[in-house]
């Protein structure tokens, strides 16, 4: 029998790999110390002043307890192994054991903005330098948006719905919102929801630079001597975001399931709201952003006056930050001056499809 609808949804676990650390614990340890995870790019060679990035430190896929050389070689889209590791960490953090009764009621929703771009780059190199017969037969699945969720399911043995919500930089939030609705409606008991992206590639670094989206660190910029200062959301001298890699996953669960399994609720998902701009591919439309916030408050049965903190998207771009502040002022009015607003991108940079889930 399907569980009743309108169930309460809680977060019971989380996992992350970010420019601050290869695990949630290390990310949190450095985050609360006010550190930023930026440095000159080491993974590739770029010819651009946009060469400050967020790379995951101490990330060694071959040293994970579920991989071997063949696994890492075949599944060479970095967001795949990243997702598997972070999902495993999240379930362990939650204290969930994948029993036979749980597996069919557990879903996995992992969003991504750029999917397996690195696997495609490797295949193009092999095609050009080694010939067509050396292109990996694993290329096509490595490009599939749902592959990380699928590989996580194979590793952790859950058999509920698996798919990938695609919403660019909102992908992680889409995953969490859809997952919460699935639990609320009785379709699942547990959902691993989040996002993953690994965009530290020369083509992508140069592409974002040519969009004037990422910061160009020239002489005289305060980040020239200290890359940690490259991302500065809402600052008057902000000059663009820092491109980063990462993954983040939360474990969502229904209230009665938490009680039955003796799990610890860490937070509650109260409301979800979503809209689209139908406006421009990078320039935001304030009207639909405001509507999304209002729909979220309505879904959560909260008033604007109930909000005590806002985690802003805060990309550190001139237009984006200005638009976000305009929207928040429309929602909160003069009381906004009393509400703390901050952006984790000052420490993590922009992890694209992973950013909303990590933050």
What local confidence, expressed as pLDDT, does residue 1 receive? 64
**Distance from C-alpha of 349 to C-alpha of 57, rounded to nearest angstrom:** 14
Extract the tokens encoding 295. Answer: 């729909």
Residue 21, strand partner residues: 18
50 is catalytic: no
44 is catalytic: no
Instruction: Give me the residue spans of the domains in the chain.
Output: 9-270+344-358
pLDDT at 60 over 90: yes
> pLDDT (tens digit, 9 = 90+) per residue, 230-247?
999 999 999 999 999 999
> pLDDT (tens digit, 9 = 90+) per residue, 305-358?
999 999 999 999 999 999 999 999 999 999 999 999 999 999 999 999 999 999
Extract the tokens encoding 103. Answer: 């597996």
DSSP E strand boundaries for 104-202: 106-111, 162-163, 190-197
Q: Catalytic: which of 50, 108, 313, 327?
A: 313
The pTM (predicted TM-score) of the whole model is 0.95
**Distance from C-alpha of 59 to C-alpha of 56, rounded to nearest angstrom:** 6
Average pLDDT over residues 140-165: 95
State phi, psi for 92 to the nearest 5 degrees.
-65, -40
What local confidence, expressed as pLDDT, does residue 96 receive? 95
108 is catalytic: no
**Distance from C-alpha of 355 to C-alpha of 89, rounded to nearest angstrom:** 18
Average pLDDT over residues 141-154: 95
Q: Catalytic: which of 87, 169, 188, 327?
A: 169
pLDDT at 281 over 90: no
Q: Which fold has domain 9-270+344-358?
A: Peroxisomal Thiolase; Chain A, domain 1 (3.40.47)
pLDDT at 278 over 90: no
Contact criterion met (CB below 8 Å) for 127 and 139: no
């Amino acid at each position: 029998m399907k569980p009743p609808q309108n169930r309460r949804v809680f977060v019971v676990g989380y996992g992350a790999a970010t420019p601050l650390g290869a695990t949630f614990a290390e990310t949190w340890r450095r985050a609360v110390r006010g550190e930023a995870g930026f440095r000159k790019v080491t993974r590739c060679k770029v010819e651009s002043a946009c060469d400050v990035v967020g790379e995951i430190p101490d990330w060694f896929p071959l040293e994970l307890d579920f991989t071997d050389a063949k696994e890492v070689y075949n599944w060479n889209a970095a967001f795949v192994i990243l997702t598997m590791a972070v999902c495993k960490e999240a379930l362990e953090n939650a204290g969930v054991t994948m029993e036979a009764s749980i597996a069919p009621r557990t879903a996995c929703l992992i969003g991504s903005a750029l999917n397996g771009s690195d696997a495609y780059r490797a295949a193009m190199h092999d095609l050009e330098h080694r010939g067509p017969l050396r292109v990996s037969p694993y290329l096509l699945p490595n490009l599939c948006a749902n592959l990380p969720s699928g590989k996580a399911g194979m590793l952790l043995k859950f058999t509920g719905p698996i798919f990938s919500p695609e919403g660019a930089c909102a992908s992680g939030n889409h995953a969490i919102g859809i997952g919460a609705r699935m639990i609320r409606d009785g379709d699942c008991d547990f959902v691993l929801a989040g996002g993953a992206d690994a965009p530290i590639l020369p083509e992508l670094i140069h592409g974002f630079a040519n969009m004037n989206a990422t910061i160009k660190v020239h002489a005289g910029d305060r980040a020239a001597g200290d890359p940690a200062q490259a991302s500065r959301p809402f600052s008057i001298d902000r000059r663009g975001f820092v491109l980063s890699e990462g993954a983040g996953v939360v474990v969502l669960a229904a209230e009665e399931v938490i009680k039955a399994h003796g799990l610890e609720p860490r937070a509650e998902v109260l409301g979800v709201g979503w809209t689209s701009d139908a406006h421009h591919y990078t320039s935001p439309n304030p009207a639909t952003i405001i509507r999304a916030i209002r729909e979220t408050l309505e879904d959560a049965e909260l008033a604007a006056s109930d909000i005590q903190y806002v985690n802003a998207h805060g990309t550190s771009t001139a237009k984006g930050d200005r638009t976000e502040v305009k929207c928040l002022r429309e929602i909160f009015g003069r009381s906004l001056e009393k509400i703390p607003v901050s952006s984790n991108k000052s420490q993590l940079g922009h992890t694209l499809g992973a950013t909303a889930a990590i933050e």
